[in-house]
Structure 1
Amino acid sequence: MEKECKVPEDKHAREILLIKEEIARMKKIHGDQRASPSRSSSENPADEEYKPLQTYFPDEEVLFVGENIAELYPGWRLFFDGVVNFKGLGIGAVLISETGQHYLITAKLRFLYTNNMVEYEACILGLRLARDMNVRELLVIGDSDLLVHQVRDEWVVKPLRWNSHRSYA
Protein backbone atom coordinates (compact mmCIF):
# COMPACT_ATOMS: atom_id res chain seq x y z
CA MET A 1 0.00 0.00 0.00
CA GLU A 2 1.46 3.37 -1.02
CA LYS A 3 1.65 6.30 1.35
CA GLU A 4 -0.73 9.05 0.56
CA CYS A 5 1.20 12.29 0.15
CA LYS A 6 -0.40 15.68 0.51
CA VAL A 7 0.72 17.91 -2.37
CA PRO A 8 1.48 21.47 -1.23
CA GLU A 9 -0.38 24.29 -2.94
CA ASP A 10 2.67 26.59 -3.12
CA LYS A 11 4.71 26.19 -6.33
CA HIS A 12 8.07 26.44 -4.54
CA ALA A 13 7.04 23.97 -1.87
CA ARG A 14 6.02 21.50 -4.62
CA GLU A 15 9.42 21.93 -6.30
CA ILE A 16 11.24 21.34 -3.01
CA LEU A 17 9.14 18.24 -2.39
CA LEU A 18 9.94 16.91 -5.88
CA ILE A 19 13.65 17.54 -5.36
CA LYS A 20 13.61 15.75 -2.00
CA GLU A 21 11.80 12.78 -3.57
CA GLU A 22 14.35 12.66 -6.41
CA ILE A 23 17.26 12.72 -3.92
CA ALA A 24 15.67 9.88 -1.93
CA ARG A 25 15.17 7.87 -5.14
CA MET A 26 18.80 8.43 -6.20
CA LYS A 27 20.06 7.36 -2.77
CA LYS A 28 18.08 4.11 -3.08
CA ILE A 29 19.57 3.40 -6.51
CA HIS A 30 23.18 4.51 -5.94
CA GLY A 31 23.49 4.42 -2.17
CA ASP A 32 24.65 7.30 0.01
CA GLN A 33 27.89 8.42 -1.63
CA ARG A 34 28.98 11.20 0.67
CA ALA A 35 32.71 11.77 0.87
CA SER A 36 34.48 9.98 3.68
CA PRO A 37 38.11 10.54 4.72
CA SER A 38 39.14 6.97 3.97
CA ARG A 39 37.43 7.01 0.60
CA SER A 40 38.88 10.35 -0.58
CA SER A 41 42.41 9.51 0.57
CA SER A 42 42.38 6.18 -1.25
CA GLU A 43 41.00 7.71 -4.46
CA ASN A 44 43.20 10.82 -4.28
CA PRO A 45 46.49 9.93 -2.63
CA ALA A 46 48.37 12.95 -1.30
CA ASP A 47 51.42 13.97 -3.29
CA GLU A 48 54.58 13.96 -1.19
CA GLU A 49 55.69 17.30 -2.70
CA TYR A 50 52.32 19.03 -2.32
CA LYS A 51 52.35 22.33 -0.44
CA PRO A 52 49.12 24.22 0.22
CA LEU A 53 48.69 27.62 -1.38
CA GLN A 54 49.50 30.47 0.98
CA THR A 55 47.09 33.36 0.63
CA TYR A 56 48.97 35.70 2.93
CA PHE A 57 49.62 39.06 1.26
CA PRO A 58 52.72 40.47 2.96
CA ASP A 59 52.48 44.12 1.91
CA GLU A 60 49.00 45.56 2.26
CA GLU A 61 50.26 49.02 1.30
CA VAL A 62 50.85 48.00 -2.34
CA LEU A 63 48.31 49.66 -4.63
CA PHE A 64 49.69 48.54 -7.98
CA VAL A 65 51.54 45.44 -9.13
CA GLY A 66 53.05 45.59 -12.59
CA GLU A 67 55.53 47.60 -14.56
CA ASN A 68 56.86 50.74 -12.91
CA ILE A 69 55.66 53.28 -15.44
CA ALA A 70 56.97 56.23 -13.43
CA GLU A 71 60.27 55.95 -15.30
CA LEU A 72 58.54 55.70 -18.69
CA TYR A 73 56.05 58.46 -17.96
CA PRO A 74 57.13 60.83 -15.17
CA GLY A 75 53.99 63.01 -15.41
CA TRP A 76 50.60 62.71 -13.74
CA ARG A 77 48.92 59.31 -14.01
CA LEU A 78 45.32 58.22 -13.37
CA PHE A 79 44.24 54.65 -12.65
CA PHE A 80 40.49 53.99 -12.53
CA ASP A 81 38.17 51.01 -12.09
CA GLY A 82 34.53 50.25 -11.46
CA VAL A 83 32.77 47.26 -9.96
CA VAL A 84 29.28 45.81 -10.20
CA ASN A 85 28.36 42.90 -7.93
CA PHE A 86 25.65 41.69 -5.57
CA LYS A 87 26.72 44.24 -2.91
CA GLY A 88 26.21 47.18 -5.23
CA LEU A 89 28.13 49.43 -7.58
CA GLY A 90 31.37 51.16 -6.74
CA ILE A 91 33.91 53.30 -8.54
CA GLY A 92 37.37 54.47 -7.70
CA ALA A 93 40.38 56.25 -9.08
CA VAL A 94 43.95 56.91 -8.01
CA LEU A 95 45.66 60.05 -9.26
CA ILE A 96 49.45 59.95 -8.98
CA SER A 97 51.41 63.20 -9.12
CA GLU A 98 54.77 63.79 -10.76
CA THR A 99 56.41 63.43 -7.34
CA GLY A 100 54.65 60.12 -6.63
CA GLN A 101 51.97 61.44 -4.27
CA HIS A 102 48.79 59.31 -4.44
CA TYR A 103 45.32 60.88 -4.35
CA LEU A 104 42.57 58.29 -3.92
CA ILE A 105 38.87 58.87 -4.55
CA THR A 106 36.02 56.35 -4.32
CA ALA A 107 32.24 56.45 -4.50
CA LYS A 108 29.33 54.08 -4.16
CA LEU A 109 26.69 54.44 -6.85
CA ARG A 110 23.07 54.22 -5.78
CA PHE A 111 21.49 53.54 -9.16
CA LEU A 112 21.66 50.69 -11.65
CA TYR A 113 24.32 50.74 -14.34
CA THR A 114 25.98 48.13 -16.52
CA ASN A 115 29.63 47.14 -16.00
CA ASN A 116 30.73 49.34 -18.90
CA MET A 117 28.84 52.39 -17.70
CA VAL A 118 30.36 51.96 -14.23
CA GLU A 119 33.82 51.97 -15.86
CA TYR A 120 32.92 55.27 -17.56
CA GLU A 121 31.74 56.71 -14.24
CA ALA A 122 35.03 55.68 -12.59
CA CYS A 123 37.03 57.32 -15.38
CA ILE A 124 34.95 60.50 -15.17
CA LEU A 125 35.39 60.58 -11.38
CA GLY A 126 39.17 60.44 -11.80
CA LEU A 127 39.15 63.06 -14.57
CA ARG A 128 37.12 65.42 -12.36
CA LEU A 129 39.66 64.96 -9.57
CA ALA A 130 42.48 65.76 -12.01
CA ARG A 131 40.60 68.83 -13.28
CA ASP A 132 39.98 70.05 -9.73
CA MET A 133 43.72 69.75 -9.04
CA ASN A 134 44.55 71.75 -12.20
CA VAL A 135 46.34 68.84 -13.91
CA ARG A 136 47.09 69.84 -17.52
CA GLU A 137 48.58 66.61 -18.90
CA LEU A 138 47.59 63.14 -17.76
CA LEU A 139 48.17 59.50 -18.66
CA VAL A 140 44.89 57.62 -18.07
CA ILE A 141 45.10 53.88 -17.36
CA GLY A 142 42.08 51.57 -17.09
CA ASP A 143 41.21 47.94 -17.65
CA SER A 144 38.14 48.53 -19.82
CA ASP A 145 38.98 47.87 -23.46
CA LEU A 146 35.56 49.11 -24.51
CA LEU A 147 36.02 52.49 -22.84
CA VAL A 148 39.58 52.98 -24.08
CA HIS A 149 38.73 52.14 -27.70
CA GLN A 150 35.53 54.21 -27.69
CA VAL A 151 37.23 57.28 -26.25
CA ARG A 152 39.97 56.99 -28.87
CA ASP A 153 37.24 56.77 -31.58
CA GLU A 154 38.47 53.31 -32.60
CA TRP A 155 35.13 51.64 -31.76
CA VAL A 156 31.62 52.91 -32.39
CA VAL A 157 29.39 53.89 -29.46
CA LYS A 158 26.07 52.19 -30.17
CA PRO A 159 23.78 52.91 -27.20
CA LEU A 160 22.90 56.60 -27.37
CA ARG A 161 22.83 56.87 -23.58
CA TRP A 162 26.63 56.29 -23.56
CA ASN A 163 27.42 59.25 -25.82
CA SER A 164 27.32 61.69 -22.91
CA HIS A 165 29.72 59.50 -20.94
CA ARG A 166 32.10 59.13 -23.86
CA SER A 167 32.09 62.82 -24.70
CA TYR A 168 32.94 63.70 -21.10
CA ALA A 169 35.72 61.12 -20.89
Structure 2
Amino acid sequence: MDNTKAYQCLSVIDPLPELIQRTNKYLLDLRLAKWITQKQYEQLSIKPNEVELAHLYYLPKAHKPGTRLRSIISGLRHPTVKISKYLDNLLRSLFDQMASNTTVTSGFELTKKLQEWSTVNIRQDTTICTIDITNLYTMIPQIEGVLSLRKMLDLLKLKQVGK
Protein backbone atom coordinates (compact mmCIF):
# COMPACT_ATOMS: atom_id res chain seq x y z
CA MET A 1 0.00 0.00 0.00
CA ASP A 2 2.91 2.33 0.68
CA ASN A 3 4.41 1.71 -2.77
CA THR A 4 2.07 4.06 -4.59
CA LYS A 5 1.03 6.59 -1.94
CA ALA A 6 -2.45 6.31 -3.49
CA TYR A 7 -4.14 5.46 -0.22
CA GLN A 8 -4.08 7.06 3.17
CA CYS A 9 -5.53 6.19 6.55
CA LEU A 10 -8.40 8.43 7.53
CA SER A 11 -8.49 10.19 10.84
CA VAL A 12 -11.69 11.45 12.43
CA ILE A 13 -12.52 13.72 9.49
CA ASP A 14 -14.91 12.08 7.01
CA PRO A 15 -13.99 13.19 3.45
CA LEU A 16 -17.16 11.70 1.92
CA PRO A 17 -19.42 14.81 2.08
CA GLU A 18 -16.79 16.98 0.38
CA LEU A 19 -16.15 14.31 -2.26
CA ILE A 20 -19.87 14.11 -3.02
CA GLN A 21 -20.14 17.91 -3.22
CA ARG A 22 -17.04 18.27 -5.46
CA THR A 23 -18.13 15.49 -7.81
CA ASN A 24 -21.68 16.83 -8.13
CA LYS A 25 -20.32 20.34 -8.77
CA TYR A 26 -18.03 18.98 -11.49
CA LEU A 27 -20.98 17.17 -13.09
CA LEU A 28 -23.06 20.36 -12.92
CA ASP A 29 -20.23 22.30 -14.58
CA LEU A 30 -20.18 19.69 -17.37
CA ARG A 31 -23.95 20.00 -17.72
CA LEU A 32 -23.92 23.81 -17.85
CA ALA A 33 -21.14 23.69 -20.47
CA LYS A 34 -23.33 21.23 -22.44
CA TRP A 35 -20.65 18.53 -22.34
CA ILE A 36 -23.23 16.12 -20.89
CA THR A 37 -27.00 15.99 -21.27
CA GLN A 38 -29.55 16.56 -18.52
CA LYS A 39 -30.28 12.82 -18.54
CA GLN A 40 -26.57 11.99 -18.11
CA TYR A 41 -26.30 14.56 -15.34
CA GLU A 42 -29.22 12.98 -13.50
CA GLN A 43 -27.85 9.46 -13.99
CA LEU A 44 -24.35 10.35 -12.80
CA SER A 45 -25.18 12.72 -9.93
CA ILE A 46 -24.45 11.36 -6.48
CA LYS A 47 -27.08 10.85 -3.84
CA PRO A 48 -25.49 10.73 -0.36
CA ASN A 49 -27.54 7.73 0.77
CA GLU A 50 -26.25 5.63 -2.17
CA VAL A 51 -22.52 5.96 -1.57
CA GLU A 52 -19.76 5.12 0.88
CA LEU A 53 -16.00 5.45 0.91
CA ALA A 54 -13.96 2.63 -0.54
CA HIS A 55 -12.59 0.31 2.11
CA LEU A 56 -9.64 -2.02 2.40
CA TYR A 57 -9.69 -5.69 3.35
CA TYR A 58 -7.31 -8.61 2.90
CA LEU A 59 -7.62 -12.15 1.57
CA PRO A 60 -4.98 -14.86 1.91
CA LYS A 61 -3.03 -15.77 -1.22
CA ALA A 62 -3.95 -19.47 -1.18
CA HIS A 63 -1.53 -20.33 -4.00
CA LYS A 64 1.50 -18.82 -2.20
CA PRO A 65 3.42 -20.41 0.68
CA GLY A 66 3.18 -18.78 4.09
CA THR A 67 0.50 -16.37 5.18
CA ARG A 68 0.82 -13.71 2.50
CA LEU A 69 -2.22 -11.51 2.09
CA ARG A 70 -3.62 -9.81 -0.98
CA SER A 71 -5.02 -6.35 -0.34
CA ILE A 72 -8.42 -5.64 -1.89
CA ILE A 73 -9.93 -2.19 -2.22
CA SER A 74 -13.71 -2.38 -2.40
CA GLY A 75 -15.16 0.70 -4.02
CA LEU A 76 -18.46 -0.66 -5.31
CA ARG A 77 -20.39 2.19 -3.69
CA HIS A 78 -17.70 4.85 -4.11
CA PRO A 79 -19.03 8.25 -5.27
CA THR A 80 -17.27 8.03 -8.64
CA VAL A 81 -18.36 4.47 -9.53
CA LYS A 82 -21.28 5.62 -11.71
CA ILE A 83 -18.92 7.86 -13.68
CA SER A 84 -16.40 5.03 -14.06
CA LYS A 85 -19.08 2.62 -15.30
CA TYR A 86 -20.42 5.23 -17.69
CA LEU A 87 -16.96 5.84 -19.17
CA ASP A 88 -16.26 2.11 -19.37
CA ASN A 89 -19.52 1.52 -21.25
CA LEU A 90 -18.69 4.42 -23.56
CA LEU A 91 -15.12 3.33 -24.32
CA ARG A 92 -15.17 -0.48 -23.94
CA SER A 93 -16.17 -1.33 -27.52
CA LEU A 94 -13.59 1.10 -28.92
CA PHE A 95 -10.83 -0.41 -26.78
CA ASP A 96 -11.91 -3.96 -27.63
CA GLN A 97 -11.86 -3.03 -31.32
CA MET A 98 -8.30 -1.70 -31.02
CA ALA A 99 -6.97 -4.52 -28.86
CA SER A 100 -8.74 -7.46 -30.52
CA ASN A 101 -5.61 -8.73 -32.30
CA THR A 102 -3.47 -8.70 -29.17
CA THR A 103 -5.95 -9.71 -26.46
CA VAL A 104 -6.38 -13.24 -25.11
CA THR A 105 -9.31 -13.80 -22.75
CA SER A 106 -9.22 -17.54 -21.98
CA GLY A 107 -6.95 -20.58 -21.90
CA PHE A 108 -8.76 -22.02 -24.92
CA GLU A 109 -8.21 -18.80 -26.88
CA LEU A 110 -4.54 -18.75 -25.83
CA THR A 111 -4.03 -22.27 -27.19
CA LYS A 112 -5.76 -21.32 -30.45
CA LYS A 113 -3.69 -18.11 -30.83
CA LEU A 114 -0.43 -19.95 -30.07
CA GLN A 115 -1.24 -22.45 -32.81
CA GLU A 116 -1.92 -19.59 -35.25
CA TRP A 117 1.20 -17.67 -34.24
CA SER A 118 3.40 -20.77 -34.34
CA THR A 119 3.15 -20.94 -38.12
CA VAL A 120 4.49 -17.41 -38.59
CA ASN A 121 5.82 -15.70 -35.50
CA ILE A 122 7.05 -18.27 -33.00
CA ARG A 123 10.52 -19.78 -33.43
CA GLN A 124 12.28 -22.48 -31.43
CA ASP A 125 14.07 -19.85 -29.33
CA THR A 126 10.92 -17.77 -28.63
CA THR A 127 10.34 -17.16 -24.94
CA ILE A 128 6.80 -16.84 -23.63
CA CYS A 129 6.36 -15.23 -20.24
CA THR A 130 3.67 -13.88 -17.97
CA ILE A 131 3.83 -10.64 -16.07
CA ASP A 132 2.31 -9.98 -12.65
CA ILE A 133 1.37 -6.33 -12.31
CA THR A 134 0.74 -5.01 -8.83
CA ASN A 135 -1.14 -1.83 -7.98
CA LEU A 136 -2.03 -1.32 -11.65
CA TYR A 137 -4.77 1.26 -11.23
CA THR A 138 -2.89 3.33 -8.70
CA MET A 139 0.24 3.32 -10.85
CA ILE A 140 -1.34 4.93 -13.93
CA PRO A 141 -0.90 8.70 -13.67
CA GLN A 142 -4.12 10.52 -14.58
CA ILE A 143 -2.54 12.76 -17.20
CA GLU A 144 -0.93 9.82 -19.01
CA GLY A 145 -4.21 7.89 -18.80
CA VAL A 146 -6.11 10.73 -20.46
CA LEU A 147 -3.37 11.11 -23.09
CA SER A 148 -3.62 7.38 -23.84
CA LEU A 149 -7.37 7.74 -24.37
CA ARG A 150 -6.72 10.70 -26.67
CA LYS A 151 -4.21 8.59 -28.64
CA MET A 152 -6.75 5.75 -28.93
CA LEU A 153 -9.38 8.16 -30.26
CA ASP A 154 -6.86 9.64 -32.70
CA LEU A 155 -5.90 6.18 -33.98
CA LEU A 156 -9.57 5.37 -34.48
CA LYS A 157 -10.02 8.78 -36.17
CA LEU A 158 -12.74 9.80 -33.72
CA LYS A 159 -13.33 13.33 -32.49
CA GLN A 160 -16.31 12.45 -30.31
CA VAL A 161 -17.70 9.36 -28.61
CA GLY A 162 -21.23 8.58 -27.58
CA LYS A 163 -23.49 10.91 -29.56
TM-score tier after normalising by the smaller chain length? under 0.3
Q: What is the TM-score with the length of structure 1 in the denominator?
A: 0.20
Determine which structure has the larger strand proportion and give its number: 1
Structure with greater Cα Rg: 1
